[in-house]
Amino acid sequence: MGCATGTLKYSLFLFNALWAILGILVLVFAGLGWGAMPDQYAIGILVLGGIILLTSLFGCCGAVRESPRMLWTYVSLLLVLLVLTVAFMFLSPKDVFKKYALQTVETHWEKEQNEPGSMDYIQRMYSCCGRESPRDYLNNQFWNNTVPNSCCKNDSCVNPLNLFVQGCLSRVEEAFEDEQSTLSYFEWGLLGFDAVILLLAAVLAIHYTNRQRRYNY
């Protein structure tokens, strides 16, 4: 039994180290992606990363100190995280990043009418030109039937072959085509990882609780 308990203990410690790394990665992702997603969505991801880090601390300390109380607190936090993950999976809107990116294109295109250059960052990032196509510029007298340099590779439109022929809306659609499947893989992976750690923690917490009771007798 001692060998099995030791294996569970160090397995839980290892899983929690990975759990902590995952929490840090989630926080970094939320920080770097701020502005590329709705604010409430970014805040939700930050909260998720914080909860993951907090649970990993309780798990590591509970396993090392062999504390039933800390382990049961850890199990409770994991259950909360499990419920939040399931709720997020079923209640969160679909294609959040794509819809936000498409709305950003629309907003910047509207600004482009009065503030030339508003589309430059988007056009360079997605290698695109205009809202629908370069014709959005070429058919508009405001731009004197020309396109901005950001519509061309290396900001050089001297060579017509450098021109980006796709509009930014279609390029954004392509860029976020796999968003939902990627997010689903992450959510199910997080759910499965949480369930495995929860099982290990519950078994270990029950063992240490029973051992403490035997010592009290």
Give residue-wise pLDDT tens across range 79-134. 888 888 888 778 777 778 888 889 999 999 999 888 888 999 999 999 999 999 99
Side chain identity at residue 122, one-letter code: I
Predicted confidence band of residue 153 (pLDDT cuts 50, 70, 90): very high
Show the 3-state SS of 93-113.
CCCHHHHHHHHHHHHHHHHHC
Q: Which spans in the chain are helix H?
A: 2-32, 39-65, 68-91, 96-112, 120-126, 135-138, 168-175, 179-216
* Burial (CB count <10 Å: 0-12, 13-18, 19+), residue 140: middle
Looking at per-residue pLDDT, the higher value among 79 and 61 belongs to: 79
- How long is the chain? 217
Predicted confidence band of residue 72 (pLDDT cuts 50, 70, 90): confident
Is 90 exceeded by the pLDDT of residue 47?
Answer: no
For residue 180, what pLDDT is reported? 75
**Among the CATH numbers 3.40.50.300, 1.10.1240.10, 1.10.1450.10, 1.10.420.10, which is that of 97-175?**
1.10.1450.10
For residue 3, what pLDDT is reported? 57
Note if the pTM is more than 0.95: no
Predicted confidence band of residue 217 (pLDDT cuts 50, 70, 90): low
